[in-house]
Amino acid sequence: MNIQAEKLKLIEWLAGVTDQTVIERIKYLKENQPAEADWWEEITQAEKDAIDQGLDDAQNGKVTAHEEVKKRYEKWL
C-alpha cells in the first residue's frame, strides 16, 4: 500500500463530504489521536544514563577527535 496515494484519496474524498456528522467524526478521530511517544520515554534507564554521561563528558572536554578515532580503528573500517 502506498500511504501517500491513500492519503491523497482520502483528502479528495474529504473535500467532497457535505455530511456534518462525518466531519465531526473525523474531527473526533483527529483530536483523540494518541500522542506519538517521545523516544526518550522508550529507552532504558541504562541508555539514558549513558547519554547523560556522554553529554557530561562532552561538556567537560573529555572527548576524542573524529580523526583520532578514525585513525585508531581504520583497520576495521
Given pLDDT bands bounded at 50, 70 and 90, which one contains residue 60?
A: very high
Residue 1 in this model has a pLDDT that exceeds 90: no
Given pLDDT bands bounded at 50, 70 and 90, which one contains residue 26?
A: very high
Check: pTM over 0.75? Answer yes or no: no
Cα 1 to Cα 4, 5, 10, 13, 33, distances in angstroms: 9, 8, 14, 18, 22
Across the chain, mean pLDDT equals: 93
Q: By the 8 A CB rule, do 48 and 40 touch?
A: yes
